[in-house]
Chains A and B, each alone.
Chain A
């Protein structure tokens, strides 16, 4: 089997979803931790000259960038424990939601970087996005992928990885059992999956990392906030 390398950054959910995919499929790989943002390795810049970002998967010396693209590549090359269903229409639904959640991820983190009125706006926005994800995306299913976790589940994993600690640091509760019961249940089910449970950054470390980010945002925010 050809060598597999992953360039990642431990707090990044884009990086973590690739780790989950590789672990789910039992693929051996070498992990390279990048020192972001000031100290990107020359190899990373060589392998991803267009975006200069992590994650980058390198398989047999060939680099693949952009986490959603990487996830589909992994699913094609290593078909065991598939992330996408076989039926083309169902695949399109899974891809739709993976893309939706991926595109809404950074907007969903805005509440964490904002203060005062701007934060209130961002929180309202989050409730709308979460409502859409819960009612239209997850529906009555256990996971976005049905009975087993799939592509969109790996992407929504950021809800546990980053969103939950962000809620803790900012003192804001977004996904509650009474407001988003199905997403709340999803969080529990997803985090109990063995591969996910065993491959999760330390909660306290994430909180520490985020505290610094939040203070950095506060320092550069408007003086009245």
Chain B
């Protein structure tokens, strides 16, 4: 029986998969584990009643396990790992926090209107740290195989590339060779191609926050 998954629909295109990186993380996990699932696209600005009933704060993603809806991508991914242990996507605890600050720093830099507020440098520092890590441990964060931490970070790096490219004409410096290779590696994976948002929807998703 297929798992039911509620994920964000694209802004302005309710029949198309949206740009939520946390939703994508869950979909990536399901794809990598080859678990069959049924997707419900949720229009965030006009949530259907049945969705509000299962997730009172209207949060996505939510997944239904044994007739119970579970929210929080961390928890969902944890339960998926337990219920479907093969193939294993477990990240060894020592690598679980690699790159964890990148998304926050990306958002700060994206929204920043002051070129000198240090937000660009903060992001570059984090990317440099990731580059160093991948140099020693790559190609994936935990080594040879893709694991949960890659599936969590991948969608966020995609957002970083597209949004900063569009709004600030900014790209990840070429000197960060390992990060660039890593991004290409993850983005070219079949599961990623299947679950990624279209560029225009990603940009549309960020536009109100950047222009605020």
Contact = CB atoms under 8 A, between A and B. Distances in A.
Contacts of A216: 79, 82
Interface residues of B, number: 18
A219 B93 contact: no
B110 to A, nearest CB: 25
What's the dominant secondary structure at chain A's contact region? helix
B57 interface: no
B161 interface: no
B79 A212 contact: yes
Contacts of B72: 211, 215
Interface in B55-81: 65-68, 70, 72, 74-75, 78-79
B89 to A, nearest CB: 12
Contact size range, A: 10 to 19
A205 B67 CA distance: 27
Contact of B96 (A38, A205, A211, A212): A205
B75 A223 contact: no
A205 B78 CA distance: 12
B93 A215 contact: no
A218 B68 contact: yes
Contact of A212 (B74, B85, B93): B74
B111 interface: no
B88 interface: yes
Contacts of B118: none
A218 B67 CA distance: 11
A180 interface: no
Nearest to B71: A215
Interface string B35-66: 00000000000000000000000000000011
20 contacts: A33-B92, A33-B93, A38-B85, A39-B88, A39-B90, A205-B93, A211-B72, A212-B74, A212-B75, A212-B79, A212-B82, A215-B70, A215-B75, A215-B78, A215-B79, A216-B82, A218-B68, A219-B65, A219-B68, A220-B66
